[in-house]
Structure 1
Amino acid sequence: MAFAHQTDAPQPTKEDQQWILPKLPETAGNPLSDASVSLGKTLFFDPRLSRNGNMSCASCHNPSLGWSDGLKTARGDHGKLLPRATPTITNVAYNKILMWDGRHPSLESQALGPMESKDEMNTDFDSVLGFLRSNSGYLDMFKKAYPDEDINKFTMAKAIANFQRTVVVNDTPFDRWLAGDKGALSRSQWRGFQLFKGKAMCVTCHSAPNFTDSGFHNIGVSQFGGSADDVGRYLIRKVKVNKGAFKTPPLRDIANTAPYFRDGSSGTLIEVVDHYARGGDDKTNLSPNMFPIELNELEKQDLVEFLYGLSAAPRSFDVPRLP
């Protein structure tokens, strides 16, 4: 169902061109290079960066699971159940602020977050840096990537951030349609896009070009279990409107990143559409953008089909050999 469609969508309008992803943004102080990306990729998949040697960045951001983990909420050090779902790193280079509560202003900052957290990788930096400085393979990789810098947690973070910047999805059926392939979207998916921009009002928060406004909204996800006291963005900025508000996730490749919402409470895309159609569940401090929208079953299915059209077919990925 996801990728089978008729080839009869109308051509995109001039206004639709705003959804074309631009080139990767420049990063001051950490330019992309083959060497830094290769180093970052290797570090990303190395469980030896964690205190117990059993977790890597890829443990939660698995390329075969849409660069997420397929779980309702993440698992941390010693399998500890964490209160929030693992966000995908797909197209994270375009994000202006990171994490569900926006506590990291850059990918470099975010890369250190799980390592510094006692609940996640719980990294012993003295031990890890000693290992990296004594490993001939890593010594060579760091020298090539950052020849004028020491091996420290900041150069580690820069390399990991640069690898994450290369995890880009820009070849979905929707992207091919924008590029002029009229047959890339089905009529159902095209109708879903019109609903997305219009009646369903999804574009209010999931704006062009990366389907996010980089804002924080309380969308009425029911509280449950360990997340009952999770106030989201309010932890970072104590303004009433931020209570229960979480960052708007981008949507490219969404069909490959189930389950959905910051607590993993919706397992399918139709459940997501139903949630928005009924205006959310928990009305406490609900965003003013959340209210019931009357959608018939065909309209809901068209929206789901459009979301499939934002997703790329699964692809192979070469895991690096660790030095």
Structure 2
Amino acid sequence: MQKEAPRDRRRLAFMWTWLAVLLAGCGGPDGGTSQPAAGELIDQKLSAVLYEQGFTGRVEQSLERRLGRKLDPRLADVGRLLFFDRISNLHNDNTCAGCHAPTNGFGDSQPMAIGIQSNLLVGPHRLGPRNQRRTPTVVNAAFYPRLMWNGRFAALSGDPFNNALGFQFPLPEGVSKFGPNNPRYPHLLVAQAHMPPTELNEAAGFTGVLDGIDPRLQVFDDGMGMRVPGLDASGSRNEAIREVVVQRLNAVPDYVRKFAEVFGQVREGGAVDIDMFAKAIAEFEFTLVRANAPLDRFARGDAGAMTASQKHGALLFFGKANCVSCHAVRGASNEMFSDFRMHNIGVPQIAPAFGPAKGNTIFDGPGENEDFGLEQVTGEIGDRYKFRTSPLRNLAAQPAFFHNGAFVKLEDAVRHHLDVLASLKNYDAAKAGVAPDLVGRTAPVDTVSATLDPQMSKALRLTEAEFADLVNFLRYGLLDERVRPGEMCKLVPDKLPSGPQFLTFEACR
């Protein structure tokens, strides 16, 4: 007897589910059949919706299959050490984990990132000059086909596991560095890991930088850390910075030994090159997949994984509220609740003041208080204020929302979506609860609303009960408990190959 294919079984289950829903209103005392209980009916409806959306709750289990191999625990552990080590930071005062905090699901502990010149705290009391945007989480980033708020790093195939068309980066990298079918860059995260050490305001600092930047940024040359290399013949300093990082790695015997255990002695003069560094960082990030939320378990057949409120909220998300039109789950969205496209959803524009201990990024616009988003990548004015749709998993770990942390309460972020024009008109940064240094420099509303995505131009009304259910679903129905600080703080090493741990993670103490 021929076995049913899994897809056939799912189709059959879907048909039976819909049949149960249809029959639910056909029986009763007069019809001689019993109706399902309310809980059973909502389970049937939600199961049918998830099937229709292609949501399986099994994306986490697909990681190694899509990588085409098992994860390498030795390489991942080297990547973990590097993630917390300032050795790739020429300014010597930040790490990947300084912005991608384990206390916040490996996302930002701040509404807007603080990179170099911090007070070495990671948490709500972190101080220092702000960059331009909130640091996105790297949890589940293995499934993202487009990275960064302005989408500047992307898999042209639409699949982060497939570099058949190459990975698109801004110049000077472009597509040429991470070109099609290059076996050195098998995944988008491997390519992306080459970039953080080259960012001046996040990692490298401004010490000795005299060329290639706005002269006003030279005020951030505090003489600390290493002198940043000048521009090379290509007009970039990225490769020169990476060469310094490699030299620093090869000067630490423990790193040389650890890399040699994974890769072997591959070249004379040292065991480590920048590609090895990038692969180690990416391997650690692969271990940070956390996609076993209540909705995932419900989709796999555990009806008790979600509360009644979360189930009602999920039906609103996929139905009346139509959140799924942008926060998609099917196909290339990889069940990450994002279409990974770029939209202007009317986020209020806020910015810190420019200057030492305030902000070390020169913002866009005549008042230098705007972030033009995708326009920075394409140069097209029609792309102004467009940002990548934010994936929604593990929202409960975030201290703020949207690219700039304009809202610090999930409820306020949801209300913004429901009536964008009213939210923009009435926005008050102080009342929204943002940090005091982000209050007072807000861009004009009409400039943002003029190019609003048409999907956001019409208000949607929800009852108080519906609103509460939707927020409950977003906060807890999509939360994998393994992102809680109690679990993530276990990944913080006490000692690093380059020396003791030097950052203090507030929620880990």
Corresponding position of 2:491: 318
Q: Of 404, 417, 428, which aligns to 1:263? A: 404
Whole-angstrom distance in 2 between the partners of 1:63 and 1:174: 23
Greater RCO, CA 8 A, separation 6+: 1
Q: Which residue identity does 1:76 align to in structure 2?
A: G
Deviations 1:142-177 (A, max 9, x none): 112333475122221121012112211122122222
Normalising to structure 1: TM-score of the pair? 0.90
Q: Which runs of structure 2 are paired with 1:1-323 in the superposition (5 Å)?
A: 10-11=43-44, 12-17=46-51, 18-19=54-55, 20-22=57-59, 23-24=62-63, 26-27=66-67, 32-78=71-117, 79-105=128-154, 106-122=188-204, 124-147=241-264, 148=266, 151-208=272-329, 209-226=335-352, 228-280=369-421, 281=424, 282-291=448-457, 292-307=459-474, 308-313=476-481, 314=484, 315-316=486-487, 317-320=490-493, 321-323=495-497
**Identical columns (%):** 33
Deviation at 1:88, TM superposition (A): 0.8
Tell whether the 8 Å contact from 2:103 to 2:109 is kept in structure 1 after alignment.
no
Unaligned runs of 5+ in 2: 1-38, 118-127, 155-187, 206-240, 330-334, 353-362, 364-368, 425-447, 498-509
Root-mean-square deviation (CA), in Å?
2.2
Deviation at 1:210, TM superposition (A): 1.1
Aligned-partner SS, 1:120: helix
Deviation at 1:312, TM superposition (A): 2.3
* Greater Rg by CA: 2
Q: Which residue identity does 1:214 align to in structure 2?
A: F
Tell whether the 8 Å contact from 1:39 to 1:145 is kept in structure 2 after alignment.
no
Cα distance, 1:131–1:240 mapped onto 2, change above 3 Å: closer
Normalising to structure 2: TM-score of the pair? 0.59
Deviations 1:245-286 (A, max 9, x none): 001121111111120000101111111110011125241311
Whole-angstrom distance in 2 between the partners of 1:271 and 1:246: 19
Aligned-partner SS, 1:75: coil
Whole-angstrom distance in 2 between the partners of 1:284 and 1:100: 20
Whole-angstrom distance in 2 between the partners of 1:131 and 1:49: 8
Q: Which residue identity does 1:311 align to in structure 2?
A: L
Unaligned runs of 5+ in 1: 1-6
Whole-angstrom distance in 1 between the partners of 2:291 and 2:92: 34
Whole-angstrom distance in 1 between the partners of 2:245 and 2:195: 15
Tell whether the 8 Å contact from 2:58 to 2:300 is kept in structure 1 after alignment.
no
Deviations 1:81-115 (A, max 9, x none): 11111111110000001100111232123223221
